[in-house]
Structure 1
Amino acid sequence: MKVRFIPVALLSTAVLLGLFSGQQSAQASYNSVFNQEAAYAKAENKDITTTTDRRLNSFKSVYLGQNKAGKVRNVSYTTYASKQGTKFSSYANHWVNVRTLKNGTVYVYTDKTTHGNYLVAYHALAKRQGVTLKLGSQKVRVGYSRHQIISIKAPKHTLKVSLTTGKTTWDRQVITSKRNRTFKGSVPHTGSVKTRLVKDAKRYLGVPYRYAGRNPFGGLDCATFVNQVYLDVTHKDIGGMTGVQQQLGKHVAVKHANTGDLLFWQRRGEAYTYHVAMAIGHGQLIEEAGQNVHISKIKTRQPQFAIHMH
């Protein structure tokens, strides 16, 4: 019996050690990607004032985030499974996103997550260089020219966007504002800022949760959702990560939150928050969490603190 028992015990110990080692490796991988994301978030320009979606063809569009001078800070090349018109009809199935930082760094990532439903793989782009990525079942080549032009080469098509002027071409054809698309109605322009924030946020009800998504046509996450609402209504870029947004103002008790204020969740002992939502009055909040954007009761969700936004 002992002869048989010893190898089994050793085997069990080896399995446990293997599992523990695997868990440590997975956690290290998660932390590495998260730290890279946090560094990018802190280095963002945060000066986008307008966002625009332009139809490229029946199954593709591009979503641009530009500052007041017209410089492009975000490019989202988006693909759809069903035909698209000039108005919203269905959500995208895949996207590739390109962003710029204050130091001139340009990086790219796709909608494919690396740790369950969270985190994505980031790739820095040097001028005159590119990277090939999987967009669903297809491959796309993303390049960055010395003239600061982003090129996204998909099968049979090429999208080019100038980061300095916003000029956009699709297979050498200039794509103008005539191709602009609307998302579930227009941004509200009447009423107080608080009223408009609530009305605008509700336009996004049902938008699917997509980690690091920067395009409501393709999905958003908790932080990019509230950022999109503030961009729409106030033309203020509040950043796309909770760790940045939690520094926007003084932390106050949730009971003192006003309509339009941000609500945060934070684990005890950790420096950064992991979730954000917006208070909409009457004891309710609106959030991008779980499957999609929805309304919840503040009492049920129990955020840890709030920040006054106006």
Structure 2
Amino acid sequence: MKKWGKYCLTTVLAGSFILAAAGTATAQPYEVKKGDTLWAISRRYGVTVEQIQAANNLHSSLILVGQVLEIPASIPSSGTEVRNVLPASRGEETTPTTTAKRVAAIARQYLGVPYRWAGTSPSGFDCSGFTQYVFRQVGIELPRTASDQAASGSHVAKEDLQVGDLVFFNTYGTGISHVGIYIGNGKFISASSSRGVAIDNIDDPYYWGRRYRGARRVI
């Protein structure tokens, strides 16, 4: 058994360890800055979104610039915990968070809704109006345009896509002109000008695969 700060570290099997508390870990304050999301903050401090929400009595992922959050300690303050320390293999989809599942489920409710230029409601969506509307239902406010949404959250490599990630494409001109929501198994849902809200394959070699430009994670 080795000492690690105030904690004792005992290897129990490959990829796992036991943290036995020998002291008390405390929470720390964090002031929300422009562009922050709970997901990004949780990764920065090594905790989960759910832990931050519980520590601050948050019922959604909505946070405001200037808001002060209590960030729980990433190491448990008491008791013993067995934790897997091996990251998911690159390219392996992990279990979606509750919020990500809600985003995918809400998005599917609008399958078949017609496309409408500048549309932002269930009577008709354009691509970014659709993503903005869906994420708003779970308390996450996105910018209005696809190009601005492409600057939100944090970058995600294509092989690391998870349910709820925003995926971006160039369908005309230069730069980002289309956005959708990744729903797993290589598929995404979006409001397209030809079919309205529909599900497509992100690697479709005839269209979407050649136009894919990247992804962002805002959950």
TM-score (norm. length: structure 1): 0.36
Q: Which has the higher contact order (CA 8 A, sep 6+)?
A: 2
TM-score (norm. length: structure 2): 0.50
Q: Which has the higher strand share?
A: 1
